[in-house]
Amino acid sequence: MRKRSFLDTNILLYAVDRADAAKRETALELIDQHAKNRSGVISTQVLEEFYSAATRKLGIAPLQARQHLRDFRIFDIVQVTPDLIETGIECSILNQLSFWDGLIVAAATVAAVTTLLSEDLSAGQSISGVAVVNPFAGKA
């Protein structure tokens, strides 16, 4: 059985952000690796956050951002449902996370991944049985 990883929004954003070459290279390698291995998972929340940040913060044209979203369909996608939102709320309360981070962890848990790749959570911790890894540590 292959090990699957959940890719947080920042992985996808760094892949299209030209401001930090080292982080961009790492993000592109992760996306390529998980696409080839069919081991990457994202959620509809990640897609929504990507579009919003790419167009507002990075200044990417809406149609180009939409094309990136289509490209990210190579990954398994967890749908955010009312039940997942409740699970995300519980996760955020129990682990003292923001609601949005709790929802990411809930989606990763539902997808039964081993690793959550994120810059936003504390690397090295395990939340709901999912190991948090910051692939950008030391690459700023």
Q: How far apart are CA 127 and CA 114, in angstroms?
A: 11
Residue 140 lies in a domain: no
Task: Using pLDDT thresholds of 50, 70 and 90, give the confidence band for residue 1.
Answer: low
Residue 138 lies in a domain: no
Q: Is 62 helix (H, G, I), strand (E, B) or coil?
A: helix
Q: Are 126 and 132 in contact (CB under 8 A)?
A: yes
Q: How far apart are CA 122 and CA 111, in angstroms?
A: 20
Domain coverage including residue 129: 5-133
Q: State the total domains in the chain.
A: 1
Q: Which of 69, 79, 73, 75 is nearest to 13 (CA)?
A: 69
Residue 139 lies in a domain: no
Q: Over the stretch 6-17, which tens digit does the pLDDT of each residue have?
A: 999 999 999 999
Q: The domain spanning residue 58 has which CATH number?
A: 3.40.50.1010
Q: Where are the alpha helices (DSSP H) in 57-129?
A: 62-71, 82-95, 99-110
Q: Which two tokens stand for residue 36?
A: 């080839």
C-alpha distances (whole Å) from 40 to each of 36, 73, 140 are 9, 10, 24
Q: What is the pTM of this model?
A: 0.93
Q: Over the stretch 24-73, which tens digit does the pLDDT of each residue have?
A: 999 999 999 999 999 999 999 999 999 999 999 999 999 999 999 999 99
